[in-house]
Every structure is written in C-alpha cells, then in structure tokens.
Amino acid sequence: MSSFLHQRPLHSVLSDPYPLSPRYSFNSQRQISIFSRTGLIVLFSLMLILGVFMPWTGLPQGIFSVTKPSLTKWREYTLAQAVSFVAKNGTVIVCAVSQPYLRFLNNWLISIARQKHQDKVLVIAEDYATLYEINERWPGHAVLVPPAPDSQTAHKFGSQGFFNFTSRRPRHLLHILELGYNVMYNDVDMVWLGDPFPYLLGKHDVYFTDDMAAVKPLNHSHDLPPPGKKGRTYICSCMIFLRPTGGAKLVMKKWIEELQAQPWSKAKKSNDQPAFNWALNKTAGQVDLYLLPQAAFPTGGLYFKNQTWVQETKGKHVIIHNNYITGFEKKVKRFRDFGLWLADDHYQESPLGNL
C-alpha cells in the first residue's frame, strides 16, 4: 500500500453561499436596520422560508455548531460496537483505509460482494473524512480507532507515515481477537476471484501467505517456510486469518513488540512486514501456523510476472495481491491490464456505490 491525502474540510450547514447585500434598494437607497419594521419583516420572511424548505431534523443541535449529530455519533462509535454489528457467524473481514485509497477499497469490495461476503466487512478508517464518507453510504461499516494518524501528507511505501499507518494493524487485530471473533485482514489492493473461506482448513491459530515469487509445487507444505537470507521468512502481512486463540493473540502481541523494537528511522526505513515475520519465527514452536496454498493466494510478483505459471494454475486463483509495484496509478493500470479493475464499470455492485 502506498500513500494518503487530505481530508475534506467540514462546512457549516448555516453558511450562506449567497449573502444578502449590505444595501437593499426599495425605491430609495436607504440602509435597512434589522430592528426596523421592514428589517423585521424581511427576517421573519426568511425564517418562514427556511422552516418550509429545510428539514429541521438536519439542522445542528446548537445554532453555532458545525458538527452534525450523525458525525458525532460516528466519532463515538467504538471498535467493539462496530465488530458486533458487522460480524457474521463470529467472523469479520477487516481492512484499514485512508481517503486516497477509497477507489481501491471499492474495487476490493466489489470482488468480495461477488462472493457474498461483503456484509461482514469492517473498514477501519484512518482519517475522519473516510469514516464519515463510508458510514454515510454504508452505515455502521466503518470505525476510527483514535488517535487518527496524520493524513495530511502522502505516505509512500517505506516512509515514516506508511510505517505509522501499518504499525497500528496488530493492535486492531488483537483487540478483535480479545472480543472473541475470527478476523480476516486484507490490504485493499487485492481482488477476490473466489471464496477464500473453504481454504481455511482445520482449526489453526494463524493463516498467512508467502510473499516470495519463486514457484512452489502444487502440493507444497503448509508449514512456516524456512528463513531467507535475512534470517527470517518472507510472509506477507497483507492477507491474514486469525482465530481467537491464545496462539493468535501471542503472535499479535509479539508483532507489536517487534514493531516497538524496530522503529522507523531515516537510515532504516522499515515497515510492518519484517516485524510480522519475526513474530511468526519467534513464536513458531508455540503457535499452530498454516501457510495457505500459493496457487490460490499468489503474490503479485508471481501472478503479474509469470504468465506461464498463471496458465498452468488457471482456475485455482482465489485472491490476487497487486504488490511488487508502487504508486496508485501504476497499480490501477496493472489491474486494468489484467481485467481486475472493477471500480469504474461495476461500481453498482459495491455497497458504497460510485466513489
């Protein structure tokens, strides 16, 4: 995932784009006082018009307030309330999004809707503009866990902003586990081509995908792969399924510890994925881990760059991740080139409509 932009400012519902002129001509050019007979008539007429044509329920609670009651409601909406509202059969699908990624969110949602799982999606909004936008269109399906990260600047992969954004993820997931729910996490630069839930076999603690582009045998092991050159594995933190077990909670806690031990710096522009891998490696003997099949959950470095493999595994692909590339427009173009960009022509299939 890449960068994040600006929130839209909230405008007072009482602001008038067409203010009255300070001088009002009524035969003569006399200035009208609001306390004069004519001024009071004009004021009364304006109030009458507003009473007829404006729904009183839409006005702010306080005459000088710029916050609508609905906005206050969503600011106070908690993660526990949101998970309870969207979860189906004890399971919730979670993503984390800021305003610039709304197009990718919609693309991802359309693909999930085609698999009939959209009702269990919860969007963790990383700015208030996103929180309000989603809940206005799809009430209850977005929540913001304060404090909101700074979304006023673009956050590129490897930047401190990107690290701050992604490092919140294990805390959200741990909270959901402690509430007693199964949780699937997805990055929104993914597309579902099939239903992933039949692949979550058994009762393992943590399910994940390999981020390596090297081709595996179709019957490869589902154990944690051996460490690479850096002494750790290369598991992707983009697609994770967790059951509310002690083992899954242990991995999330260890992930949080690893992020704290390896903070972002200009010299070492880290992200959340190495810390996730260290957490898996250091808890492997205590936790029941399960590597999902590569043919169903390929990394972008394999799916988009090895068309021979794509043809050999045709019909087996379930979730495609548009990684191994950075930049909004580059990701959109690649999705379009492979027929996976749905947000323009199929937005009516999304619960959010046309964003």
Buried b (16+ CB within 10 A) or exposed e, 207-242: bbbbbbbebbeeeeeeebeeeeeeebbbbbbbbbbb
pLDDT at 11: 37
Lowest mean pLDDT among 53-67, 242-256, 261-275: 53-67
Alpha carbon distance 129, 97 (integer Å): 11
DSSP run (H or E) holding 92: strand 91-97
- Nearest C-alpha neighbor of 183 from the set 175, 173, 192, 193: 173
pLDDT per residue as tens digits for the range 17-46? 333 333 333 343 444 454 566 655 656 666
pLDDT per residue as tens digits for the range 287-303? 999 999 999 999 999 99
* Helix spans in the chain (H): 37-53, 69-75, 79-86, 102-113, 128-137, 160-166, 169-178, 246-261, 272-283, 300-303, 307-312, 328-337
Question: DSSP state, 288?
Answer: -
pLDDT at 8: 34
pLDDT at 260: 87
What angle, 0 to 180 degrees and rounded to 10, lies between the N-to-C axes of helices 246-261 and 169-178? 160
Alpha carbon distance 210, 229 (integer Å): 15
Query: What is the band of 334 on the pLDDT scale with cuts at 50, 70, 90?
Result: very high
Alpha carbon distance 272, 157 (integer Å): 11
How many other CB atoms sit within 10 Å of the CB of residue 145?
A: 16
Q: Residue 58 pLDDT more than 50? A: no
Segment 311-322 mean pLDDT: 98
Q: Residue 131 pLDDT more than 80? A: yes
**Averaging pLDDT over each range in 24-33, 45-54, 262-271, 282-291, which range is the top one?**
282-291
pLDDT per residue as tens digits for the range 64-106? 333 566 788 999 999 999 999 999 999 999 999 999 999 999 9
The terminus-to-terminus CA distance of the chain in angstroms comes to 19
pLDDT at 42: 59
**Cβ-count burial of 273 within 10 angstroms (0-12 exposed, 13-18 middle, 19+ buried)?**
middle
Question: How much of the chain, in percent, has pLDDT values that exceed 90?
Answer: 67
Question: How much of the chain, in percent, has pLDDT values that exceed 70?
Answer: 73
pLDDT per residue as tens digits for the range 166-212? 578 999 999 999 999 999 999 999 999 999 999 999 999 999 999 99
Enter the pTM of the model: 0.78
Alpha carbon distance 131, 1 (integer Å): 19
Q: Tell how strand 190-192 and strand 182-186 pair up.
A: unpaired
- 208 DSSP β-pair partners: 291
Q: Residue 2 pLDDT more than 90? A: no
